[in-house]
Structure 1
Amino acid sequence: MAAEVSEQVVGVRELGAAGVDPDDLPDGLVVADETGRIVCFNAAAVRITAVPAALAVGRPLVDVLPLEDLKGRRWWTLTDPYGGLAIRGGQPERNLLLGGREVLVSARYVRDRPCGPVRRVVVSLRGTEARRRTERSHAELIATVAHELRSPLTSVKGFTRTLLRKWERFTDDQKLMMLETVDNDADRIARLIAELLDIARIDTGRLELRRQPVDVAAAVGRHVHARISAGQAADRFLVHIQYPLPDLWADPDKVDQVLGNLLENAVRHGEGMVTIEVAPATAKDDEKGTAVTVSDEGPGIPEESLSRVFTRFWRGSKRGGTGLGLYIVKGIVEAHSGTITVGRGPGGGAEFRFILPVGAPAYLA
């Protein structure tokens, strides 16, 4: 037993050469030596397998982790880490069964030299809770979007069917009204589809940016003008621009998307004056770039909800929406290597502040 404990200590020391305690790792870590006996069994592995470390260390890997694939075949027999192909470096993560429970398992074979004998087998174990949370999130996303699509699609279908069947019965003004409604609902559907595509790109790290010089002050002016043209009172918006602003290379369409979403939230969910400030980032921001602040004078966001504002499906009120807009905004800002925060503004309402760092042209970045 003393030899087993000594071997465990040596294994942990080797793994801790980089200053990392295996017990601090969030995933289960199991290490077997060249004889196939376990020399390291961290706290997460104990939690996932329900096997005490004292009973695992020193025993054969195949006995402590009797893994089977989903067809009931012994995984260690199939993979044969010590006697398999000498060029094999490990096994990718996959779903396996451990005592009838599903776990995510990956393995790496450590050799002293290429094609040499295996000196260590390093096994990573993860519970399936994270995957199930992801699956639930995807299911909720599908349900939310399906619900949001149903209303405009029903409207489009209803008006087009009515027009096709009873065209002659309507006046030109009635036809125009119905076609405008169809057009607006089609725009809403297009926005929902665009949100889905943005989420897919953000989640997979494939959000493309087409950087070029961006005049943020001019972009803010366009958005405010569009709001006023759509019927909002001109005195509801207050714009402050602090010149000179640093040069900004960013994706103008994505910057417009961020501004549009933040202004929409301020108008729809806030009250009173909507203030937009554009200024160089200050020393307290600890970065160089352009800072944009959008605040309102509404009730603000409850303190307990601030940490969830940028998560999927968060809604500040019951006034509709998918709850995906701010999640996308955060993804866009971070894709520009920027930051975004939320808090309480001077007028008591919500205050969103994002900073886009000083950037270089795409061909220099």
Structure 2
Amino acid sequence: MPLRGLAGEARAVSSGALGLQTLLALAPAIRSVAGGQAVHIPTMTALPNPSTLALDTTIRHALVHLSQVLGFTGSCVLLCDERTSALVLHSTQGLSAQQQRDLAVLSEPGALAERVLISGRADFASSFEQRALVSDGHWLGLPLLGAETALGVLLLLWPGRGEDVAEILPVIESVGRGLGLAVQNARHFHRQQRRAEHLQLVSELGRRLTAILEPEVLLQAMVEQIQRTFGYFYVGVSLVENDSLVIKAEAGRPRADGEANTHPYHGADEIVLPLGAGSISGLVAATGKARIFPDVTQEPNYFWLPEMGPVRSALVVPLHFEDQVMGALDLESDRLNDFDEDDLLLAEVLAAQAAVAITNARLYYQARRRTQEVEGLLDTAQDINSELHLTLLLERVTQRALEITGAEGALVGHVEDGEMVYQTIRTPRAWVPYKTRFRLNEGWLGQAARRRQPYLTNDAPNDPYVMRDFAATYQIHAALSVPVLNRRGILLGAILVFNSTPGRYFGEDDVRVLTALANQAAIAIENARLYELEREKVEALQELEHLKSDFLSGVSHDLRTPLTALRTASQAFPAAGPLTPLQQQLIDNIQRNTERMITLVNDLLEMAKLQSGRLRLNYQRVRLVHLIDELVSELDPLLSERGVRAEVVAGDPALAITADPRRLHQVLLNLLTNACRFSPAGGTITITAAASEDGTTISVRDEGPGIPVAEQGRIFDRFYRLDSGGSGGLGLAIARSLVALHSGTLSVESTPGAGASFHVWLPREVPDAYRDH
């Protein structure tokens, strides 16, 4: 078999994955048939295995052996760029600088290299091309064939005649095919290796990003880490807001223009892009489909900024979360056609992780803000509900409105005489006097009042309900007004917050928290108004009480003089001579009723002193048993007259307390007198005194008819009497007030038909703060 035919069989067998190893297996047959031409077999045996992944080594060894064994004086390999498909010089062997200039001619469009690449077959330089070359010999081009297409071109410089190459052409073609497979395998390996590295980097990037829970910090960290990790010229993240796309964070490759080369590019302000046509990010966000832009200069929707530098190509992928587009990830390059399917796959993985990280940060931020809102509203409720003065209350609500919304100005008004009345405006720096009134149907306040719901505008100058003078004075760009309604839907006032800086908007969160504040304010305003009404009533009652006390005091003094004179005159009648029985009876009636009236007048004067706070106690150490014995002796005539016995029970004869002895005597005298008056003949009044850890209790118990349960809560009221007897109804009221002045208590226990017990509890020691009472 001729060498050409055997080589043809070898070429047929060597296609696919067998490559050069199949040729090596055919080497004995070639050697036995070809005889002396078997010298070419070492070229094949010396070539590296085409399955190797060291592409540069494979090509270098192939070129060296093609020169040393087959006699080619020069060679080079041109490989197709994976993204642009353009031929790019990879390596050369044995070419002088002058000969390398021939490569430019052979690489021109339509020249040898391109013809071989397109046809997929070996070819020589044309005679026309040959005349333009400086090298001696003939240039041969062979395609580097992969499994499906040519991946490059092998150019060989043959020093002899062109027909001499025909004998070894099959072998050279097999070498070309082997190199093509080596290129394909290496590129496949590098692609997989690159993907594995990218996935590892993405995983690490995801771990770092998920640890950041502040949305703004997260977005900036995201673009910076993506840019640094993968070396993109520019990275930007934009989010959908209010039917627009807002660039939230940007980062770029350091630029070599002085100091800026150490700092990545960052956008100074948020840029708002249209959602849809008008920007490539807006286009992708609107359609929800990723796109590669090979040349942005040919893209009418590209939004270019001078400071972004020479951007040439871009890749934009949407940020998806649960089938909803939340924004876009924009990757840009300063080279044409710099993104391929691998970059698209990487970008989609990055976008998926970014969407999850952004969603988690948003959820965390929302949960934290809701918690802060609840805590803030609880604190606000305590703060504003503790203030019952309406003017001060409105100032507190204004301050809180400014704090919870972060607004640049706030004012709170209340409805008065059919108008909204304002006193001051609160700014972050100061309170500004602003005494004015608005009609309830005027401007933003009127809309909130009429609709009974919040009114929001983020374009205040062009709003149809703009409050022009007010808006112009404070250069308002955004405003939010919330009505203050009580539970019956009645308008009590309104809260207005505003921003003067362009781009500072109010959102749904502001509406929610300000509405919650308005609800709290409604309760506080009603409480303040009720308190004001109650205070006015109390002041009126106190004034009335003072008038009554003054009247009683004046009347009592006016009555005491004639009563005293009447008593003196009645006592002087017996000295004038004997009285008839009728005269004596009349004199006795006069004396008895005079004494009763004097007692009532004294009680009235005593009560007037207690109510006016003019009565003062004189604290001393009082031995209780001694005081009780004196009282029993003092009441002995009355006890004998009523046929009642008094029994004193005291565990400690030396028991003593700190009290005003005169006032304590007055209290116990009243209790003993009442007990004597209500006790039946032959009954017993029991007086006990017992000490405890915190004080001393003195009890007076009788065996009278007792006190009905319904009456027990009223017997200490002024002028209340259980019967129509001689009492004026002031004794127990005075007694309880005197005990209260001692920081003690006076209480009653009674079962109808089984007597009554009155208990006086006094503290063991009176606090210093009460010693002036």
TM-score range, shorter chain: 0.5 to 0.7
What is the aligned partner in structure 1 of residue 668 from structure 2? 259
C-alpha spacing 1:345/1:305, structure 2 compared with 1 (3 Å): closer
Per the TM alignment, residue 13 of structure 1 is displaced from its structure 2 partner at its CA by: 3.4
1:342 aligned counterpart, secondary structure? strand
- How far apart, in 2, do the equivalents of 1:233 and 1:162 lie? 23
- How far apart, in 1, do the equivalents of 2:540 and 2:612 lie? 18
For residues 98-136 of structure 1, give each alpha carbon's deviation from its aligned partner in whole angstroms, at most 9, with x where no partner exists. Answer: xxxxxxxxxxxxxxxxxxxxxx99954123554565577
- How far apart, in 1, do the equivalents of 2:377 and 2:767 lie? 49
For residues 1-25 of structure 1, give each alpha carbon's deviation from its aligned partner in whole angstroms, at most 9, with x where no partner exists. Answer: xxxxxx9x968733515xxx949x9
- How far apart, in 1, do the equivalents of 2:541 and 2:767 lie? 39
C-alpha spacing 1:36/1:142, structure 2 compared with 1 (3 Å): same
- How far apart, in 2, do the equivalents of 1:207 and 1:357 lie? 20
Per the TM alignment, residue 222 of structure 1 is displaced from its structure 2 partner at its CA by: 1.9
In the TM superposition, what are the counterparts of 1:38-57 in structure 2 within 5 Å? none
What one-letter code is carried by the residue in structure 2 that aligns with 1:242?
A
What is the aligned partner in structure 1 of residue 629 from structure 2? 221
- How far apart, in 1, do the equivalents of 2:550 and 2:724 lie? 19
Per the TM alignment, residue 304 of structure 1 is displaced from its structure 2 partner at its CA by: 0.9
C-alpha spacing 1:169/1:353, structure 2 compared with 1 (3 Å): closer
5+ residue gaps, structure 2: 1-372, 402-410, 424-430, 435-520
Comparing 297-306 and 222-231, the one that deviates more: 222-231
2:533 to 107, 123, 126: 126
1:60 is the counterpart of 2:388: no
- How far apart, in 1, do the equivalents of 2:602 and 2:646 lie? 30
Per the TM alignment, residue 331 of structure 1 is displaced from its structure 2 partner at its CA by: 1.1
- How far apart, in 2, do the equivalents of 1:168 and 1:363 lie? 53
**Higher helix residue share:** 2
Per the TM alignment, residue 329 of structure 1 is displaced from its structure 2 partner at its CA by: 0.6
What is the aligned partner in structure 2 of residue 32 from structure 1? 394
What is the aligned partner in structure 2 of residue 241 from structure 1? 649
Contact kept, 8 Å, 2:672 with 2:700, in 1: the verdict is yes
- How far apart, in 1, do the equivalents of 2:698 and 2:752 lie? 15
Q: Percent identity?
A: 24
Per the TM alignment, residue 358 of structure 1 is displaced from its structure 2 partner at its CA by: 1.3
- How far apart, in 2, do the equivalents of 1:35 and 1:361 lie? 41
- How far apart, in 1, do the equivalents of 2:701 and 2:757 lie? 4
Contact kept, 8 Å, 1:149 with 1:192, in 2: the verdict is no
Comparing 292-301 and 203-212, the one that deviates more: 203-212
In the TM superposition, what are the counterparts of 1:205-354 in structure 2 within 5 Å? 205-230=613-638, 232-233=640-641, 236-244=644-652, 246-272=655-681, 273-282=683-692, 288-344=694-750, 348-354=754-760
1:341 aligned counterpart, secondary structure? strand
Per the TM alignment, residue 138 of structure 1 is displaced from its structure 2 partner at its CA by: 6.8
- How far apart, in 1, do the equivalents of 2:376 and 2:417 lie? 21
Per the TM alignment, residue 211 of structure 1 is displaced from its structure 2 partner at its CA by: 1.4
What one-letter code is carried by the residue in structure 2 that aligns with 1:241?
V
C-alpha spacing 1:360/1:28, structure 2 compared with 1 (3 Å): closer
Comparing 127-136 and 213-222, the one that deviates more: 127-136
Could you say what the CA RMSD is over the residues aligned between the two structures, in angstroms?
Answer: 5.4
- How far apart, in 1, do the equivalents of 2:542 and 2:678 lie? 29
- How far apart, in 1, do the equivalents of 2:729 and 2:558 lie? 16
Bigger radius of gyration = 2
Contact kept, 8 Å, 1:296 with 1:347, in 2: the verdict is no
- How far apart, in 2, do the equivalents of 1:184 and 1:83 lie? 71
What is the aligned partner in structure 2 of residue 98 from structure 1? none
C-alpha spacing 1:332/1:348, structure 2 compared with 1 (3 Å): same
Number of equivalent positions: 285
For residues 141-178 of structure 1, give each alpha carbon's deviation from its aligned partner in whole angstroms, at most 9, with x where no partner exists. Answer: 789899999998877666778999xx899416689999
C-alpha spacing 1:250/1:199, structure 2 compared with 1 (3 Å): same
Comparing 204-213 and 152-161, the one that deviates more: 152-161
Contact kept, 8 Å, 2:647 with 2:685, in 1: the verdict is yes
What is the aligned partner in structure 2 of residue 45 from structure 1? none
In the TM superposition, what are the counterparts of 1:76-95 in structure 2 within 5 Å? none
The alignment's TM-score, normalised by the length of structure 1, stands at: 0.57
For residues 54-74 of structure 1, give each alpha carbon's deviation from its aligned partner in whole angstroms, at most 9, with x where no partner exists. Answer: xxxx8623x3378xxxxxxx9
Could you say which structure has the greater relative contact order, defined with CA pairs below 8 angstroms and 6 or more residues apart? 1
What is the aligned partner in structure 2 of residue 107 from structure 1? none
1:214 aligned counterpart, secondary structure? strand
The alignment's TM-score, normalised by the length of structure 2, stands at: 0.30
What one-letter code is carried by the residue in structure 2 that aligns with 1:359?
E
Per the TM alignment, residue 256 of structure 1 is displaced from its structure 2 partner at its CA by: 0.8
Per the TM alignment, residue 275 of structure 1 is displaced from its structure 2 partner at its CA by: 1.9
Comparing 253-262 and 182-191, the one that deviates more: 182-191
- How far apart, in 2, do the equivalents of 1:360 and 1:148 lie? 33
- How far apart, in 1, do the equivalents of 2:621 and 2:639 lie? 31
- How far apart, in 2, do the equivalents of 1:328 and 1:156 lie? 23
1:320 aligned counterpart, secondary structure? coil
